[in-house]
Amino acid sequence: MPWQVRELGRVDYASTAAAMQAFTGERTADTPDELWLCEHPPVFTQGQAGRAEHVLGAGDIPIVQSNRGGQVTYHGPGQIVAYPLVNLQRLGIYVKEYVFRLETALIQTLATFGIVGHRVSGAPGIYVRLSAPGANERLQGPATDPFEGLGKVAALGIKVSRHCSYHGLALNVAMDLEPFSRINPCGYPGLRTVDLTTLGGPGDLVAVRAVLSERLQAQLS
């Protein structure tokens, strides 16, 4: 079944989340899957089980409660946000496999630009070796800090309702990273957040978005 890809531009987070929820609530077994691609104005979003202490000082940036999984994260200009609206039952996969495929699409996107993405067990998202972004070898950080030497370049936060997914992922491309210092990203104090340009990758959102869109559709078809 063909995908409907929607390029939304820069859109408000809360209204976009509401539209995703409405789409998911109204879809039927025959509704084609969709992929929404966008940017958001500066906003902190707090996951369903998010804890207030992970917001260190939001300042002038609003905090919006979300029904996705995970803790607090930041969205802002220069970040590609992708919302795959997928019927997982029709695809024949469960949530764990879905998350794995989202991460695979991100890893493949980074590889296109010479950057090696890594998974960290129990911490969804994609991480990169800060000292050697193109290195295949994962740094073996001490057990007390599995993020030693790593920076987070992409975050995941999903919701599944009636076997259908919404919310999704965010890939940092060319951002003002300062707002991440106002939170414990995804609930991890001291976790460094990076973007593609910091890692020596491209800052062209259009080019990166095209690759990410293609890889997501390939992984979820």
Q: Which residues are catalytic?
A: 186
Report d(CA 168, CA 159) in Å as an integer. 8
Closest by CA to 74, choosing from 194, 191, 180, is 180
Q: What is the DSSP annotation of 128-196?
A: EESS-TT--SPP---TT-TTTTEEEEEEEEEEEETTEEEEEEEEESS---GGGGGB-GGG-TT-EE--T
b/e sequence 38-63, b meaning 16+ C-beta within 10 Å:
bbbebbbbbbeebeeebbeebeebee
Give the bridge partners for 73, in sequence order. Answer: 45
DSSP for residue 115: -
Terminal-to-terminal C-alpha distance of the chain: 8
